[in-house]
Amino acid sequence: MITPSPTLARRQTARHLREVVLAREKKRGLLIAFEGPDGSGKTTQRKLFKNWLKSEGHDVITTKWNSSALVKPLVKARKAARSLSPEEFCVLHAADFRYRLENDVLPALWQGQTVVADRYLFTALARDAARGLDLAWLLDVYDPLFWPDMVFYFAVSPETSGKRIAADRSPSYYEAGQDVTEISDPLDSYTQFMGRVIQEYEALARIFQFVTVDAEQSIFEQHRVIRELFESGARRPWERRNQKVLVEWLSHHPKLVKV
């Protein structure tokens, strides 16, 4: 009996895993991302949307930005020391994102759950690009990319964002972008930095075809629009966008390779 070469064996395994991914398409869950600047109301809308999905019979979980038990404490400590460079900020958030993707998001999707992300990788792309990092470099840091089925982008002006934040608290050092603006007043720095972030978000919205929601509208009207857009949205097959990530993930979880 001829034993396949290691290269051929890997190719056969990858081909089999791609077939498994294709077969799972009808059973898998959906990934919906809520994006936008602070103060845009996306968290409020995400909560309303999650409750509505549950009422419609969906099994729903939430994943939040910078929330992994593995990386979040390190980010918090480095922020407190104000010792994060833009590159380090990016790499730490990328590690947090990858950890949550592989341990929370992909297992839930594979089991058919709907995952609602309160900010996704586009948060990193917008904020890091606003800090002067090159978008192509950022995409390499997050490669291989895993794309949501739908991205809701909550559009507001920098002024509206700043007013909503200032109504409750003063922006923190990194939230205000003081590490790059060097403006001493947190709110002034926030308004300037958020202007940059929103410019990046707007560019990403065009490139990646976000569903834009006018976040200046009432909470009720936004929720109504989101429900309608979700129900009429097109489903993006895994095999087109996310196959590379899924094949790699499944190769480390052989027990899940069941159609």
Distance CA 20, CA 18 (A): 5
User: Comparing 86-90, 163-167, 210-214, which segment has the lowest mean pLDDT?
Assistant: 163-167
DSSP state of 148: -
Q: For domain 28-256, which CATH number applies: 2.40.50.140, 3.40.1360.10, 3.40.50.300, 1.10.3470.10?
A: 3.40.50.300
Tokens 């929330």 identify what position?
A: 67
Q: What is the chain's alpha carbon radius of gyration, rounded to the nearest angstrom?
A: 20
DSSP state of 83: -
- Name which residue leads in pLDDT, 236 or 103: 103
Q: What is the pLDDT of residues 159-189, one digit of tens each?
A: 999 899 888 889 999 999 999 999 999 999 9
Q: What's the whole-number average pLDDT of the chain?
A: 90
pLDDT for the residue numbered 6: 56
Q: What is the pTM of this model?
A: 0.90
Distance CA 154, CA 18 (A): 35
- Phi-psi category of residue 24: left, alpha or beta, with phi > 0 → left and psi -120 to 50 → alpha: alpha
Q: What is the mean pLDDT of residues 73-86?
A: 93
- Please give the biggest Cα pair distance in the chain: 74
- Decide if pLDDT at 140 tops 80: yes
pLDDT for the residue numbered 80: 93
C-alpha 12: how far from chain center:
32
CB atoms within 10 A of CB 171: 24
pLDDT for the residue numbered 2: 46
Judging by beta carbons within 10 Å of its beta carbon (0-12, 13-18, 19+), is residue 149 exposed, middle or buried?
A: buried
- Decide if pLDDT at 46 tops 50: yes
Helix, strand, or coil here: 212? strand
Distances, alpha carbon 198 to alpha carbons 179, 205, 255, in Å: 18, 10, 43
pLDDT for the residue numbered 8: 45
Percent of the chain, pLDDT > 90?
A: 73
Which residues, at least 6 apart from 28, have a Cβ–Cβ distance to it below 8 Å?
A: 109, 110, 112, 238
Question: Per-residue confidence at 7, pLDDT binned at 50, 70, 90?
Answer: low
